[in-house]
Amino acid sequence: MKNLIAGVDEVGRGSLVGPVFAASVIFKKYVDKKIFKDSKQLSKNKRNLLEKYIKKNCVWAIGSASLEEIEKLNILNASLLAMKRSIKKLKIKPTTILVDGNRSPYLIGYRLKCIVKGDKKIPEISAASIIAKVARDRIITKMSKKFKNYSWDKNAGYGTRQHLAAIKKFGVTKHHRKTFSPIHNILSHN
């Protein structure tokens, strides 16, 4: 049997708002692996082009964990849950799953291997990081339309100076992760 490798990565772990996303990608034989890089090293335009390429030429799946799951489970466990969901949604079962980072979800019947900085080393993981990031960015940009003061369409909910200033000025929204610092600190001082 052919060795089918799936790359898995998550996006949004350090954000202060919204869900965490994960993706799993299996390349088909003819996919050009050299075109992939870590999503953080690519322009938004390049990520969008690569996302279309991946969705057309690869086997892929996206999973997520909600804000409520992040608050209940903690961000690490919610990230692992999102990864597990993306792996389980793949239409083909991979023989080997390469997971970015030093922790992988617990899955019976799968061979998983952690690769630290895998999004920079393994094209399948890079591809997973790209489609997870594009999917999450779309959701956060949509949320941003109702909460314009926070500039989530530009900062993806991360704790930029501008975002932190907006939290101080306009308060915490229903989309903010209440267990995250500095949100938790702000709420406990009110």
pLDDT tens digits for range 75-99: 999 999 999 999 999 999 999 999 9
DSSP-H helix ranges across 20-73: 44-57, 67-73
pLDDT(18) > 90: yes
Q: How many CB atoms lie within 10 A of CB 158?
A: 15
Q: What percent of the chain has pLDDT over 70?
A: 98
pLDDT(1) > 50: no
Q: What percent of the chain has pLDDT over 90?
A: 84
Average pLDDT over every residue of 116-128 = 95
Average pLDDT over every residue of 148-170 = 94
What residues does each domain of the chain span?
5-144, 148-188
- Domain 5-144 sits in CATH at 3.30.420.10
DSSP-H helix ranges across 97-182: 118-121, 123-144, 152-155, 161-170
User: How far is C-alpha 169 from the geometric centre of its chain's CA atoms?
Assistant: 28
Distance CA 171, CA 165 (A): 10
Average pLDDT over every residue of 107-131 = 95
Mean pLDDT, the chain, rounded, equals 93
Identify the residue whose tokens are 């390049």. 46
In this predicted structure, what is the pLDDT of residue 51?
Answer: 96
58-65 β-sheet, strand order: 58-65, 20-27, 5-11, 96-100, 112-115
Phi-psi region of 39 (alpha: psi -120 to 50; beta: other; left: phi over 0): alpha
pLDDT band at residue 181 under the 50/70/90 scheme: confident
pLDDT tens digits for range 22-81: 999 999 888 888 888 777 888 899 999 999 999 999 999 999 999 999 999 999 999 999
